[in-house]
Amino acid sequence: MNIAPDEAQPSHILVFGPIEETSTEIAVANAALQPALDRGVEASVRLNGEQLSTAYPEHFGVFEGCCDRESEGLYHCSLDACSDPLAGLLSIETWHRFVAIESLRIDGPSWSLWYVPDHRTFELFGGEDIATAIRTAIEEQPAALLAASEHISWTQEGHRYALELPSLCVENRCYALSKLQKIDIDRETQSITLSWDDSNGLVGRVIGHLRTSPPKHLSIADTETFERVAGYFEQLRSAWE
């Protein structure tokens, strides 16, 4: 059973910063998830119960005692009663947090949130109020919740470039914006200089092709397109700093 939201395009996407420690990534994700847990109505969680019950019997026991098991590995939770047990499960900081907890969907009155820990997928579908609450919750965190209602593309030296959150793409190769280390924006030349982390980082986090170099210089001739792209990178730079 697929529990991902039916909408094709999220309204907002969380872009993680250049995070090196697993504990920091978990802290960022949990800070962003907390407003949804506080305001949500229900949640669906797909997980590996055998792994969690073995490694964290107390956490999993409280969670399983509160949420309804719909099928093998799929649980449905009323957040009125089960917000704390679910938050307890999400507090796990070992590899189980990224492997045993496979996906999480939180539904509010008029919005849905989709989170896949191992892929750093964090997508919000609708709900400007919850988006504002998440932004407030992560103000001190190296992450940015960006509007994702449109893709921005341009041509540079004969190649198609596109800002497709949470990635920057060149033709069919995409690079995770979470690997950015430094962003310099020059409005006079309508150019953006990017510095990337060249290490492999955490397993399973890099999007796209690992053996290609990400673009270090963006030159955008159209002023309107440049300003839109620069606006996104300014939000990322502000969050990273």
Structural domain of residue 38, as residue ranges? 12-146
Per residue in 180-205, pLDDT (tens digit) is 999 999 999 999 999 998 765 444 44
pLDDT for the residue numbered 212: 76
Does residue 213 share a domain with residue 161?
yes
Does residue 184 share a domain with residue 134?
no
Question: CB-based contacts of 163: which residues, under 8 Å, 6+ apart?
Answer: 151, 152, 153, 169, 229, 232
The count of C-alpha atoms lying within 13 angstroms of the C-alpha of 191, restricted to the half-sphere facing its C-beta, is: 9
Does residue 205 share a domain with residue 125?
no
Structural domain contains residue 3? no
d(CA 16, CA 29): 9
Q: Is the overall model pTM greater than 0.85, yes or no?
A: yes
d(CA 127, CA 192): 31
Does residue 176 share a domain with residue 141?
no
Structural domain contains residue 236? yes
Cβ atoms within 10 Å, residue 25: 23
Does residue 170 share a domain with residue 215?
yes
Structural domain contains residue 7? no
Count of domains observed in the chain:
2
